[in-house]
Structure 1
Amino acid sequence: MSDYALFATAPLHLESLLAEELHALGIEQAQETRGGVRFRGTLEEAYRVCLWSRVANRVLLELDSFTADSPEALYRGVQQIDWREHFGIADTFAVQFQSNQSTITHSQYGALKAKDAVVDQFRERDGERPSVDTGWPDVRINVYVQRNRASVSLDLSGDSLHRRGYRRAGGAAPLKENLAAAILLRAGWPAIAREQGSLLDPMCGSGTLLIEGAWIAADIAPGLLREYWGFSGWRQHDPTLWQKLYAEAQQRREQGLARLPAIQGYDIDARAIDGARQNVQAAGLDAAIDLHCQSLQQLHPAADLKPGLVIVNPPYGERLGSDSDLPRVYQQLGQTLKQQFAGWQVALFTGNPELTGQLQLRSLRRHSLYNGPIECKLFHYQVDKQHDISPRGYPRPLTPAEFTDNARMLANRLQKNRKQLSRWLARENIHCYRLYDADMPEYALAIDVFEGDQRRVHVQEYAPPRSVDSAKARQRLREALGVILDSLQIDEQQLFFKVRQRQKGTAQYEKLAEQRHFYPVTENGCRFWVNFEDYLDTGLFLDHRLVRARLGELAAGGDFLNLFAYTGTATVYAAHGGARSTTTIDMSKTYLDWARRNLELNDLNGSEHRFIQRDCLEWLQQAVTAPQYDLIFLDPPSFSTSKRMQTNLDIQRDHIWLIRQCMKRLRKGGVLLFSTNLRNFKLDETALGALEITDIHRQTLPRDFERNPKIHHCWEFRHRHKSVLSLKQVDN
């Protein structure tokens, strides 16, 4: 059997879940990448992914790749493919075109150029041409150009795989079917279903979560109802093989429906329940899913219902009415869960993550997902008394009388760390520092102390792995919080607690709350506003203390550029160090305003300090006649996919381009200081060999972060002297 190069596309942030799914389907070489999963497989494996993937959007069979740095190059490359191997003049086709960071930016023009190449090839060979059908073509061609490199594929799925074929009615904002399936998979529903745990949605809307949950539990292939496939009109399609896989899926469906656990849906809107019934019937699940029109206040599970998973996507505002009180809805949901669903797990998917505090339940973990263009969060909870939280947002700390031996060991460690750091802190005049960073594996916390008008302590818990018992982790956290309050002699109003997950993209900058409480702190004579409640980080990266000091030393008399500036703390240091001018660039108006306030706090209000709200990647692509700088600070996120950006950023992939673009704006004799907190980052010094590179990681690692030497990586770049470069070229 032939082996094909294949690519399954995935919604944003679901690439890893799709890779896991393909591994479970027996595809061992599935490799997660940006936008999906690459794999090599037989035609049978390609068909199996089309039929069985619950997460993928499309399955593409790659035909060729080539340089497409102009419309003419795209045309020539598409013409190199023998299209008669794939379809004939009696067939219809369509072209889907996308580009990213490439010369060809107009998708319709790119699609037209690729279409012309296909049509002209048929006309030259056969004197006739196939017709275009953008709706339901026999063959759909996919062209994707990334940095002027084109990949041409056949779309075997034909239409997005999220269209299962059962949706007859939709609510105000229905979830896509593959997103609903991903939510259930992230929530651990397959394992719960195997134990015959129940599935219940108290705000079920059009019933998508319930249907996808039933199909997962009953082992029903998500492509079983689809009537249109992209491979059906393909000349290399094997109908016999496809029918074999389809018949196998039909048999598995019949067997699976006999072992379904209880699945129930509720909604206060009778029209939503009517729509859900239509969809459930179309999905063939009339006897499997119970639907009821009922409010949250009235909701309670039947006594014989086995605890399992409550899955909920709280409704959008328009479904509640223009004068609705969303916080009250979340509050009522939390009350109902705690009063009626003890022992159940809960997965809550929301586009309003700041409202989850109204539940007064502590999430065990969370995932970032997108519902169309809306960035959302999936929160996971366990309903029991151990997971109640106080209005302050963290579990009740233990009192000293309740401390275990381990808790007393933690207290001793905090006391030891304070003693070891005390002379250094006094000598260096440091008021904000890291006291503890997961020194003891039992207590995986980062503890930062901020001295100001009063001591405030910012505590972040590193989310424990799934292998750790959640109740035990909860108890240890309560111990740790009690120890912190007692050892540092603060009350609960001075302690701020968050859970720190592994971050992707701009997640560390995302808003968690809306308290808007800012506090002034001092560092090396500079003053900053910090915020302990509204974001994961405070606005001041303590590990960059020496990086900022280095910038202050280098800035005197020069023009300073701060890219991906965040709250502008580096700009404050540069201005404080005597920079002639500063330019601060960030895409976020919130952070630029914060940066302005930081400069104003230091009486730095002059017109020589410019603020630009813009995508830094876009700004760096502007003409090289842009202003030149003597000192540039480049501290980008490791990965960024903000919807306001024109493109995405992967710092490992893109650092060479970023650094080169910055060097175009750096004057001779100037310094580019580049920093990244990507733990496993590798600088490609070979590709940057024309530059003078100095690794300053060790010099910029503060004493209070020595336990975590990979907290950041840092280099300085300078233009090489021409004579030095010439000698190097001669040597090479």
Structure 2
Amino acid sequence: MSQKHPFIATCPKGLEQLLASEIAALGAEVGRESVGSISFVSDVATAYRVCLWSRLANRVLLVLTEYRGENADAIYDGVKAIEWSEHFSATSKITIDFNGQSDEIRNTHFGALKSKDAIVDYFLAKGEKRPSIDKDNPDVRINVRLRKGYITIAIDLSGESLHRRAYRTSGAMAPLKENLAAALLLRADWPGMASRGGGLIDPMCGSGTLLIEAAMMAMQIAPGLLRSRWGFLGWLGHDQNAWKQLLEEAQTLRANSMARDWPEIRGYDANGKVVAQAEENIDNAGLGRFVKVSRRELAQLAMPTHRTLPEGLLITNPPYGERLGEQAELLHLYRHLGQAMTAHFMGWQAAIFTGNPDLGKRMGVRSYKQYQLLNGTIPAKLLLFNINADAVVIERDQASKQQDKSAVSDVQLTAGGQMFANRLRKNIKRLSKWKNKNDIECYRVYDADMPEYSVAVDCYGSAVHIAEYMAPVTISEEDAERRLREVIEAVSQVFSVSAGNIAIKERRRQRGKDQYQRQAPRNSFMELKEGQAKVLVNLFDYLDTGLFLDHRPVRLDIAARAKGKRFLNLFSYTGVASVQAGVGGARFTTSVDMSKTYLQWARRNLSLNGLSEDRHRTEHADCRRWLKSCEDQYDLILLDPPTFSNSKRMDDVLDTQRDHSELINDAMRCLAPDGLLIFSTNKRDFSLDDTVGLDYKIEDKTRWSLDEDFSRGGKPIHHCWYIEHK
């Protein structure tokens, strides 16, 4: 019967129970469980099996001695007392890993130095040479641990950490360690799903660690099979025959697995360089036939159509705040992920490993189980989901809706208020067929149709936005306030909307340069739809809402034209045109604006639609200066400058009437030979410079670009031209 020895297997904190079960399944006798480690007893061959087959352990340590002690003398005496010549020769290269501290031993370097001195003195006392120290490529790695008044001395049989499987030669930003990835898969019951023929998809796969670990787990490939260096190979107690037999068994199992068909395992990432890294790692693991990755935005996440997969696991480690910016932007990425789960993966399981667990609560899907773990030093949670109708969270229940209805104004309308309400109803009826046919959520209902009520009324889903125009000097302040009050009461009744869902932007002559009075910020963003895109609007906190309704046809045309195109959005505002281009399949987009607030808003809109910053860049810059230095070419450009701007961040004043010719010329320099520049302006009395038409092919699209809600008589609310190279 083979001699049994005490061993310790270390692991990341939180994986102890999983590791204990794994070690028991590999044939060892499991003992005490501590934070980050499991003790076990076995023969050397079983310890080798743990080294080769453990998906969770960091190191396997052969315990030589354990005794009480806390100071430097105790370490020195205990280390020197071991018969080191039974484990390695005086000519061996060694290194010492020291862990722990006490009142006397404050740093690991000092503890390692005392341990090294003891080993050197042991060999010198025997009249032999002193062993050399090699931290990078030692023959034997010695582990000394000081914890709770005990000193443990061991030989590290694993060598370097077992999480290094030798398939990852390059990694994407902040990759998961392989043993942590394996733990996530085990917690999500991937082996059970794989045994039933289920598939696996990682929509943000990074360097492919989850995919590779999933494949090796499903195919029963030993995780250590690719490694060539092991700590026990330089150990004098090494049993070469036992190791050779284990290695041959694992290689035979792998060869048999490679000849079979296995579950669908796919990964996607928006970053082309990261996808290339994942492909390289997959090829290094020899799994190119079984694991497929491709460049794809989260916006394109859907069930594969070439193969029916009634069961499977959607698993991913979404970006953390430090990688994609603020949590406010990540919120919308998580919401999009939750929406994609319920739209395309009903009946599947999902596992989301996140360093932002609060965002996991905003996905619109309720997790049934959570595990607290660490990703390196970052506290994180694994959220598990059954994707079914019962797990869908309805953020706003019927009771709150009823409460909103009860808050609708029941004030008796004045004669003027009734007249205004009648006009609203007439406009709503006129627009209803167009609105329903085109699935319009945000539109203009009224735009100063009657001179007495000089306001614009816009509908944003279930909310209404009222913008007051400057009243003529012939209208008293009292009359202006009375009429605005009548407008509010009429809107509340006609739309059955509470006053809290009506945003009011007032203009007053006597209030100086602050034409619009901004209320205390609510930070209240609404998610609405335009075409296939989702957009965020804020009706209360800013001068504008984040969505210029009159430019709807142009944005939808951009979406229709964008597939495979390079899109540039100048004076990009909240980036909705870039979102439309991205949803339409643009190769990439660039959004340039001088406002950090609007660029942050744009990034939120992009995240909401599953569009990553790898392919959809935002640039904080003065568009005019940026254009002058731009050396890239674009296939589709939107140039929509403000009528006038004198921002402190600009070198001079921008006047679109005066400067548009130069702007167009600079933009056309960046336009591909067969590209399209869309130029628009909201200056009502704008006149296009005749010289522009001499150099380029120009088509006036103003009337076309005004939908039914903006096609009333009089001067158009904006002008629009499509411009191409001749």
Distance 1:396 1:231, change over 3 A: farther
Aligned equivalents of 2:323, 2:148: Cα separation in 1? 43
What residue in structure 1 maps to residue 432 of structure 2?
Answer: none
Q: 1:374 aligns with which of 375, 378, 388?
A: 378
**Corresponding residue for residue 335 of structure 2:** 331
**Pairing 1:358-369 to 2, within 5 Å after superposition:** 358-369=362-373
Could you tell me whether the CA contact under 8 Å between 1:198 and 1:305 is conserved in 2? no
Partners of 1:280 and 1:395 lie apart in 2 by: 49
- Confirm or deny that 1:134 pairs with 2:135: yes
CA 1:147–1:322: 2 relative to 1, 3 Å: closer
- The equivalent residue for 2:283 is 281
Given that residues 95 and 141 in structure 1 are in contact (C-alpha distance below 8 angstroms), is that contact kept between their aligned partners in structure 2? yes
Structure 1: gaps spanning 5 or more residues: 398-514, 516-732
1:237 aligned partner, one-letter code? H
Question: Which amino acid letter does the alignment assign opposite residue 368 of structure 2?
Answer: L
Name the residue aligned to 2:344.
340
What's the CA shift for 1:298?
1.5
Q: Which string of whole-angstrom CA distances, capped at 9 and with x for unpartnered residues, describes residues 575-626 of structure 1?
A: xxxxxxxxxxxxxxxxxxxxxxxxxxxxxxxxxxxxxxxxxxxxxxxxxxxx
**Following superposition of structure 1 onto structure 2, how do residues 202-217 of structure 1 map, counting pairs within 5 Å?**
202-217=203-218
Per-residue deviation, residues 443-494 of structure 1 (Å, max 9, x unmatched): xxxxxxxxxxxxxxxxxxxxxxxxxxxxxxxxxxxxxxxxxxxxxxxxxxxx
Look up the match of 1:193.
194
Q: How many Å apart are 1:226 and its aligned residue?
A: 0.8
CA contact (8 A) 1:280 1:289 kept: yes
SS of the counterpart of 1:370? strand
**Contact persistence 2:267–2:293 (CA under 8 A):** yes
The amino acid that maps onto 1:376 is A
Residue deviations 1:499-545 (CA, integer Å, cap 9, x gap): xxxxxxxxxxxxxxxx9xxxxxxxxxxxxxxxxxxxxxxxxxxxxxx
Quick check: 1:158–1:228 contact (8 Å CA) kept in 2?
A: yes
The alpha carbon displacement at 1:105 in A equals 2.2
Bigger Rg, which one: 2
8 Å Cα contact 2:23/2:30 also seen in 1: no
SS in 2 for 1:141: strand
The reply on whether 1:180 has 2:184 as its aligned counterpart is no
Cα deviations by residue, 1:128-171 (Å, 9 ceiling, x for unpaired): 11101111211111000113310000000011101100002211
Return the letter of the residue paired with 2:250.
Answer: A
Contact 2:70-2:146 within 8 A present in 1 as well = no
Asked if the contact 1:102–1:147 (Cα under 8 Å) also holds between the matched residues in 2, the reply is no
- The match for 1:474 is none
Paired position in structure 1 for 2:673: none
Q: Which residue of 1 aligns with 2:356?
A: 352
User: Which secondary structure state, in structure 1, belongs to the residue aligned with residue 302 of structure 2?
Assistant: coil
Partner of 2:171: 170
CA distance in structure 2 between the aligned counterparts of 1:395 and 1:244, rounded to whole angstroms: 66
Within 2, Cα distance between the matches of 1:146 and 1:312?
36
CA distance in 1, matches of 2:231, 2:16: 22
Tell me how far apart the structure 1 counterparts of residues 120 and 169 of structure 2 sit (CA, whole Å). 37
> How far apart, CA to CA, are the structure 1 residues paired with 2:290 and 2:283?
10
Amino acid at match of 1:5: P
Q: Which residue of 2 aligns with 1:263?
A: 265
What SS class does the counterpart of residue 5 from structure 1 fall into? strand
In the alignment, the residues of structure 1 paired with residue 4 and residue 27 of structure 2 have an alpha-carbon distance, to the nearest angstrom, of 15
Give the Cα–Cα distance (whole angstroms) in 1 for the partners of residues 178 and 354 of structure 2.
16
Q: CA deviation at 1:24?
A: 1.5
Question: Taking structure 1 as the reference length, what is the TM-score of the superposition?
Answer: 0.53
Match of 2:546 in 1: none
Q: CA deviation at 1:271?
A: 1.2
For 1:253 and 1:315, locate their aligned partners in 2 and report how far apart those are by CA, in whole Å. Answer: 33
CA distance in 2, matches of 1:28, 1:92: 32
Paired AA for residue 335 in structure 2: Q
Task: Please name the residue that 2:296 is paired with.
Answer: 294
Q: Distance in 2 between matches of 1:202 and 1:326?
A: 15
Cα deviation for residue 115 of structure 1 reads: 0.3
- Does the alignment pair 1:6 with 2:7? yes
Give the conservation status (yes or no) of the 8 Å contact 1:99–1:144.
Answer: yes
| Residues 8 and 61, structure 2, Cα contact 8 Å, conserved in 1 | yes
CA distance in 2, matches of 1:130, 1:112: 14
Amino acid in structure 2 at the alignment position of 1:186 = R
Displacement, 1:297? 1.7
Change (3 A) 1:396 1:97: farther
Aligned: 1:248 with 2:228 = no
Other-structure match for 1:64: 65
Asked if residue 387 in structure 1 is aligned to residue 388 in structure 2, the reply is no
Shift of 1:30: 4.3
Q: CA 1:71/1:278 → structure 2, altered by over 3 Å: closer, same or farther? A: same
Q: By how many angstroms is 1:389 displaced? A: 1.1
Cα distance in 1, alignment partners of residues 22 and 30 from structure 2: 12
Q: Show the counterpart of 1:437.
A: none
* AA of the residue aligned to 1:143: V
Equivalent residues of 1:29, 1:40 under 8 A apart: yes
RMSD: 2.3
Matched AA of 1:146: R
The aligned counterpart of 2:308 is 305
- Given the superposition, is the C-alpha separation of residues 328 and 87 from structure 1 closer, same or farther in structure 2, using an over 3 Å criterion? same
Residues 395 and 370 from structure 1, CA distance in 2 versus in 1: closer, same or farther, beyond 3 angstroms? farther
Q: Is the 8 A contact 1:60 1:156 kept in 2?
A: yes
8 Å Cα contact 1:389/1:395 also seen in 2: no
Q: Is the 8 A contact 1:370 1:376 kept in 2?
A: yes
Q: Secondary structure at the match of 2:88?
A: coil
Q: Report the residue type matching 1:291 in the other structure.
A: V
AA matched with 1:337: M
Alpha-carbon separation, structure 1, partners of 2:155 and 2:208: 33
* Contact kept in structure 2, 1:217 and 1:256, CA below 8 Å: no
**Distance 1:319-1:21 versus aligned 2 partners, 3 A rule:** same
Mapped to 2, the partners of 1:272 and 1:191 lie a distance apart of: 29
- Offset of residue 100 of structure 1: 4.3
Partners in 2 of 1:351 and 1:318 — Cα distance? 10
SS in 1 for 2:382: strand
Residue 470 of structure 1 aligns with which residue? none
Cα distance in 2 for residues equivalent to 1:343 and 1:244: 43
Q: Secondary structure at the match of 2:6?
A: strand
Q: Does the aligned pair in 2 maintain the 1:100–1:147 contact within 8 Å? A: no
Does the aligned pair in 1 maintain the 2:320–2:356 contact within 8 Å?
A: no
The corresponding residue for 1:29 is 30
Question: Using the alignment, how far apart are the partners of 1:362 and 1:381 within structure 2?
Answer: 7
Is the 2:9–2:57 Cα contact (8 Å) retained in structure 1? yes
Shift of 1:387: 0.7
**Unpaired stretches in structure 2, ≥5 consecutive residues:** 401-521, 523-726
- Go from structure 1 to structure 2 and tell me whether the alpha carbon gap of 1:387 and 1:323 turns closer, same or farther (over 3 Å shift): closer
3-state SS, counterpart of residue 358 of structure 1: coil
Distance in 1 (CA, whole Å) between partners of 2:315 and 2:375 is 16
Kindly state the Cα deviation for residue 255 of structure 1 after the two structures are TM-superposed: 2.0
Give, in angstroms, the shift of residue 321 of structure 1: 5.8
- 1:50 aligned partner, one-letter code: C
Q: Which one-letter code corresponds to 2:341 in the other structure?
A: L
Q: How many residues align?
A: 399
- Paired residues for 1:689-708 under 5 Å: none
Q: Cα gap change, 1:102/1:344 in structure 2, threshold over 3 Å: closer, same or farther?
A: farther
Instruction: Give the partner amino acid of 1:150.
Output: I
C-alpha deviation, 1:316, in angstroms: 3.0
**Which amino acid is the alignment partner of residue 177 of structure 2?**
K
Displacement of 1:362: 0.5
1:402-460 CA deviation, whole Å, 9 max, x = no partner?
Answer: xxxxxxxxxxxxxxxxxxxxxxxxxxxxxxxxxxxxxxxxxxxxxxxxxxxxxxxxxxx
Name the CA shift for 1:29/1:396 in 2 (closer, same or farther; >3 Å). Answer: farther
**Offset at residue 318 of structure 1 (A):** 5.2
Shift of 1:348: 0.3
Equivalent pair of 1:67/1:74 in contact (CA under 8 Å): no
> Partners of 1:387 and 1:262 in 2: how far apart?
25
Residue 39 of structure 2 is matched in structure 1 by 38
- Structure 2 residue matching 1:219: 3-state secondary structure: coil
Q: 2 CA distance for matches of 1:126 and 1:309?
A: 62
Of 285-294 and 30-39, the range deviating more from structure 2: 30-39
Corresponding residue for residue 147 of structure 2: 146
